[in-house]
Amino acid sequence: MVSYFDNATTSWPKPEPVLRALGRFLEEASGVPRRPGHRLAVSTWEAIERTRERLAALFGVGDPRRVIFTASGTDALNLAIKGLLGSGDHAVTTALEHAAVRRPLRALEVVGVTTTVVRVGPSGIVDPDDVRRALRPNTRLVVVSHASNVTGAVQPVREIAELAHAHGALVLVDAGQTAGVLPFTLDDLDADLVALSGHKWLFGPPGTGALLLGPRVELSELTPLREGATASEYPEIIQPWSLPERYEAGTLNTPGIAALGAALEWRACLGPETLHERLRQLTDRLASGLARIPGVEIVGQASERVPLVSCVVQGWRPADFSAMLERGYGILCGAGLHGAAEACRALGAFPHGTVRFSPGWSTSEEDVDRLLVAVAELVRAPGRAD
């Protein structure tokens, strides 16, 4: 028996309609999307556009053409960061951010982009006033995660966005841990750009992501990261200025995007509110149970969190603890720095990181209780932590 608690990395198992859509698409519509084109090409294009429209409706994007498909959430963040920032620009971000934010910003230092990293304390919650104090006259972009992928804590994004906009900066939100599990629109967050991962809480396959463009983002401000042929005919040698073609050069992951569309349809039929409430109850049960086990310390504080709880276990390295959970109990979870070493450092969980538990749509209360029993048993038989 396997209990999967690593949904913050990727959702598993995928819903049956997603698996069926992958196979059906490759059999019936496996053309490169083209309009105009032959029937397979047009069918492929229509499948892509249906998914685009579903994402636009879900996240309140008025014009579906402003939903840009990317290879991943990381790809979406790179497009936003590298497409907007240039020499002389300043960016503000936080110590909680994933490497998909921190590394692109660091790479841009060679072309004259500067970055201020807002620190966070052990609570793991960003103080909007710290962001305000970090703003400079040349601040072009503020980048913040909607929820930490280490603690699960939801951040005060709207308050941060209001401060940034008052200063004239754009706001990019990394919604990799919230898209699909917390209800929100671009207006709710007051965000200009939102980066999504398709394979986490949207339940799509790996290799899918999207960048949502709000109305304040002008095409002249966002430079494409690549150029090439697009789904629509365009005779000029330069990249077209039309959306979404300007940012979708080359062949998209058409089977993955079609399967993501099936996942969105499945999610709508399941009931987003029902799913959100069920995951909230499972996460509360998990967090309260872990808090009662001596030797287990939950990392960070969260009045509102996504389905994710991180902890450190006295006497254990996270990687060793995770391995023992799998070997002895068939429980799969995350362990380590989770691509956010700076966040783990700020939260007092460096250099080994945390053990991260994340229930999903197929998790039961019995799975959670079995996990809690396993953790309590292993705490009483500690391994090496040094």
C-alpha angle 364-368-370 in degrees, rounded to nearest 5: 110
- Looking at the chain, the whole-number percentage of residues with pLDDT higher than 70 is 98
d(CA 117, CA 126): 11
Which pLDDT belongs to residue 233?
73
Assign 381 to helix, strand or coil.
coil
Per-residue pLDDT band at 386 (split at 50, 70, 90): very low
Residue that the structure tokens 């959702």 belong to:
11
**Confidence (pLDDT) at 204:** 97
Q: Is the pLDDT of residue 308 over 50?
A: yes
**What is the reported pLDDT for 279?**
97
Backbone φ and ψ for 347, nearest 5 degrees, come out as: -95, 5
pLDDT for residue 230 is more than 90: no
Summarised one tens digit per residue, pLDDT across range 248-257 is 998 999 999 9
On the question of a cis peptide bond just before residue 36, with omega within 30 degrees of 0, the verdict is yes
> What's the pLDDT score for residue 200?
97
Q: Strands 170-174, 139-145: parallel, antiparallel or unpaired by DSSP?
A: parallel
pLDDT, one tens digit per residue, over 309-336 is 999 999 999 999 999 999 999 999 999 9
Domains and CATH numbers, the chain: 16-269 (3.40.640.10), 271-379 (3.90.1150.10)
Average pLDDT over residues 206-210: 97
Reported as a pLDDT band with limits 50, 70 and 90, residue 197 is very high
- pLDDT over threshold 70, residue 383: no
Q: Which of 168, 178, 137, 130 is nearest to 7 (CA)?
A: 178
Over the stretch 40-93, which tens digit does the pLDDT of each residue have?
888 888 999 999 999 999 999 999 999 999 999 999 999 999 999 999 999 999
Q: Distances in Å between the alpha carbon of 112 and those of 76, 86, 91, 107? A: 22, 7, 11, 10
Report whether 192 contacts 159 (CB < 8 A): no
End-to-end Cα separation, the chain, in angstroms: 31
Report residue 271's pLDDT band, with 50, 70 and 90 as the boundaries: confident
Q: Are 191 and 146 in contact (CB under 8 A)?
A: no
User: What are 8-44's pLDDT values in tens digits?
Assistant: 999 999 999 999 999 888 877 767 777 777 888 888 8
Q: Specify the pLDDT at position 30.
A: 65
Per the listing, tokens 């391995």 go with 323
Residue 234's pLDDT band, with cuts at 50, 70 and 90, is confident
> Can you give the pTM of this predicted structure?
0.95
Checking if the pLDDT of 301 tops 90, the result is no
Mean of all residue pLDDT scores within the chain = 94
State pLDDT tens for residues 112-143: 999 999 999 888 999 999 999 999 999 999 99
